[in-house]
Amino acid sequence: MGLSKTAKIMIVSTGVICLVFLAAGLAVTGFVGAAAEFERPLAFAAGIALGCAVSVVKIVLLEKSIKLTIDMGEKSKAAPVGGLLYIARFAMTGAVLAAAFIFPGVLGRLGTVLGIVSMQLAAYTANIFLRKQRPDNFDKLNDLSADDEEDEENDEIF
């Protein structure tokens, strides 16, 4: 089962965003002595790396979760599986954040959080990229949602 174009764009975006965070963080921790006391450069880099890896795994699991629940069809079968996979992604995030706060000398807290947040930023980046690439598809979706709103207004009249 291959990944969709959106998932691939999100994975690449996550990597790029993590590299930007890494470069900015190492510049700050390397040049400012007070920041180095807050989080050492190696711990910051390890946190970014782990947070980025978790974000990529979560993107892959999200993709598989969506495909699995769509393939199941029936809501009664799909809902528990989708919920279980959501809890698994949530628990993975919690475990990584807990490890960062339990072992601050090994994993930088800020780096780990930034690595995990990169997934959300990558979702926005993928949305922008896909809109620029195929704006006609998004216009059709907007037209459909406008038609739905008009239908709701007409239902209220009758």
8 Å CB contact between 82 and 65: yes
Which among 118, 128, 18 has a CA at the least distance from the CA of 59? 118
**CA-CA distances (angstroms) from residue 140 to 9, 83, 143, 145, 158?**
22, 30, 5, 9, 27
The burial of 29, by beta-carbon neighbours within 10 Å (0-12 exposed, 13-18 middle, 19 or more buried), is given as: buried
pLDDT at 45: 87
Q: Is the full-model pTM beyond 0.95? A: no
Distance, in Å, from the CA atom of 56 to the CA atom of 113, rounded to the nearest integer, reads 14
Spans of all domains in the chain: 5-157
Report pLDDT digits (tens) over 57-114. Answer: 999 988 888 888 888 776 667 777 778 888 888 999 999 999 988 887 788 888 888 8
